[in-house]
Amino acid sequence: AQTVTQSQPEMSVQEAETVTLSCTYDTSENNYYLFWYKQPPSRQMILVIRQEAYKQQNATENRFSVNFQKAAKSFSLKISDSQLGDTAMYFCAFSLDFGNEKLTFGTGTRLTIIP
Amino acid sequence: DTAVSQTPKYLVTQMGNDKSIKCEQNLGHDTMYWYKQDSKKFLKIMFSYNNKELIINETVPNRFSPKSPDKAHLNLHINSLELGDSAVYFCASSQPQGFSYEQYFGPGTRLTVT
């Protein structure tokens, strides 16, 4: 079974600073997919960024980027120039299949951006 | 245009009652899911359906019964509600489309059992 671990229950950072959220996972599979989801107080789950394990290049979406270390089974999220709207719960998630498989979530990191 | 919708968004009921949560997606996806988020914010898969067929059933009590009348709908019926069923229930859908795989989530239904 796959597991996802987020070791930082809570983090806070000043507005405009950079913050990195950690995620490690465990799997014996070689092909899989990793995701970061954001859940603001509205509770809507929003996909922030995705990474296919077969791709060596780290994914980037505007101010969000990942550091994917396949051998170390690590998948951290970096948020640059943090904004107040980034305040939310962030969940790291793992999926084995491409479009027809469950997401296994970590326990989440509550991120607060301080004005 | 709402991609994945759930009704109701809030549900307060007493122990022992039976209730249903409805989910509809207008994305044309073949696969739909139910996830449960507990009071500690932990999200866990409950069920997955592909084109009306049950694919995943993750050790969920028999009191929970999903029903998919067509591939755009996946409803969740809960019998004999217990205090521990209080949670937020999320519906989601997905469809492999090249490299744009993503699970789209509904707004969630907050169920409170008193």
- Cα separation, B21 vs B54, in Å, equals 17
- For chain B, what percent of residues have pLDDT higher than 70? 94
Of B30, B45, B107, the CB nearest to A103: B45
- Quick: pLDDT tens for B58-82: 878 999 999 999 989 999 999 999 9
Q: What is the pLDDT of residue B43?
A: 96
pLDDT tier at A97 (50, 70, 90 boundaries)? low
B87 contact partners, CB below 8 Å, separation of at least 6: B36, B37, B38, B39, B110, B111
- Quick: pLDDT tens for A7-48: 999 999 999 999 999 999 999 988 899 999 999 999 999 999
For residue A65, the distance in angstroms to the closest alpha carbon of chain B comes to 17
Query: Would you call A86 helix, strand, or coil by DSSP?
Result: helix
CB pairs under 8 A between A and B: 58
- By CA distance, what is A107's nearest residue in B? B42
Q: Please report, as a single letter, which amino acid is at residue B51.
A: N
Residues of A in contact with B3 (CB under 8 A): none
pLDDT tier at A100 (50, 70, 90 boundaries)? low
Backbone angles phi and psi of B58, in degrees to 5: -90, 75
By the CB < 8 Å criterion, does A24 face chain B? Answer: no
Which stretches does DSSP call E strand in chain B? 4-7, 10-13, 19-25, 31-37, 43-50, 53-57, 64-70, 73-78, 87-94, 104-105, 109-113
Report, as an integer, the average pLDDT of A49-73: 94
Question: Among the residues of chain B, which ranges form H helices?
Answer: none
Lowest mean pLDDT among A1-5, A57-61, A73-77, B32-36: A1-5
